[in-house]
Amino acid sequence: MISETLLIVSLVSIWMSLLMSTLTLTGATHFWLRHATKLVTTEPLHAYPKITIVVPAHNEELVIAKTTRAILDMNYPAAKVELILIADNCTDHTADVMRAILNRRAYRFRNARVFERHDGGGKAGALNDALKMAPVVKALAADPDLEPITVVTGQHREMLQQVLDIFNLTPDFDLKVMEKRQSLTSITTKILAGLGPILESVHPDMVLVHGDTTTTMAAAMASFYHRVPVGHVEAGLRTWDKYSPYPEEMNRQVTDDLADLYFAPTNLAAANLKRENHPLDRIVITGNTAIDALQYTVNPDYHHDLLQRLNPSHRTILLTMHRRENQGEKMEEALTAVRQVVEERGDVDLVYPVHLSPAVQEVAHRVFDGVHNVYLIDPLDVVDFHNLAARSYLIMTDSGGIQEEAPSLNRPVLVLRDSTERPEGVRAGTLKLVGTDPARIKAALNGLLEDPLEYTRMATAANPYGNGHAAEAIVKAIKDYGASV
């Protein structure tokens, strides 16, 4: 009797288990069938949602091709996929690889685009050009025979405004081309389109451009298209390597090919222009307008909170490093060498205004965080930077403009680059090329800190970049040119 009862109970339990399993499976199937229609189905095509895939890449030329192909080949309707590839401050061929993939026959008509982000140095370049042209605009405005009309692109407006305020200048036209993550092609196109109507309405007798930015090259090209003579301030600088610095080297070469009047800052720059067969009677050695600008910015009574934090008995090393070609492993090795010297010495402070580029910020903080005599600060405006440079003991930089300004302040400069378009300073002895090799950096830095004779030799070397009257020379050359044509 007991065994029969147990058998009945067991059978009931088995049947109940089977019933529960059946109900669970039925419920799961019903749920899947009910909700599957809300998910992506294989058909019809319009049921697929449109998606945008953004792929940022920094120096990933070896892997970006496989990633791009995998996205484009995935099992999803091609018409529903937008692919945005961003080459973020790349110093390799990542952007070229991206474009090569998209140009293949299989992908040529896909909704995919490549954007290049070039933040490394862009702001510094805009500020540098504005600073160097401001004395020229002031000198032109002071001449009763000349009427300057100022055009700005609107890039890096806050930094530009610093210069406009210092020199009390108001632009006549603002192209307002500034956008985040725009490519060199986009900048060039916008400036060409923006300058065209201005040139047609103003009918200038000459367009002055400065330096080696993409804006400079595009403005020279727009002027050429409208048959307006071009005067190039800071003409003739060369490294003869079209990718170093990039894109500046080719920007200035193209600009000089389009120019009609060349304002060479040094004898060597003039010699470069002669070597390229530019007309000798159109080449004028003026000195560098950066030296003119120092007269407006350096103040003996200058005060800044940072100066109160520095040890007055210490020697201050001012460091800047941000160039695209130095980012990555080179930068980390160079900064590590500087840190080792600073840590070993108890008589120096290092001040590093760190560029806002994430690539630069990351390396700078990884190398220097926790070092008590290193001050990582936000980028300085032009007045603060010039006055801090004037109060420093020596300067280490990969910037071009600082190489010109420091000799006027009698400060030795260690250049953290393997080549420079300003070799006059190296020949004169005010600059020393040390590149990014740690051993060279440590030897040169220790040499200036330990050898008073070496320091004095560099600090007192003749300034090859002019006497502070470049703007006056440029105005005279423009008037002479106008009288001769």
Residues annotated as catalytic (active site), given as ranges: 212, 234, 248, 322, 324, 355
Helix extents (H) in 226-300? 248-258, 267-275, 289-297
Q: How many CB atoms lie within 10 A of CB 443?
A: 13
Region of 34 on the Ramachandran plot (φ > 0 left; ψ -120 to 50 alpha; else beta):
alpha
d(CA 408, CA 156): 27
Which residues contact residue 405 at a Cβ distance below 8 angstroms, ignoring those fewer than 6 apart? 290, 291, 294, 386, 389
Rounded to 5°, the CA angle 148-149-151 comes to 135
Tell me if residue 406 falls in helix, strand or coil: helix
Q: What is the dihedral of CA 316, 321, 326, 327, to 10 degrees?
A: 120
d(CA 2, CA 262): 115
d(CA 137, CA 231): 13
Q: Which of 64, 159, 184, 153 is nearest to 112 (CA)?
A: 64
Q: Which of 292, 294, 245 is nearest to 400 (CA)?
A: 245
Hey, which bits of 150-235 come out as E strands? 151-152, 173-174, 207-210, 230-233
Whether the upstream peptide bond of residue 265 has omega within 30° of 0, thus cis, is no
* Total H helices, total E strands in the chain: 19, 15
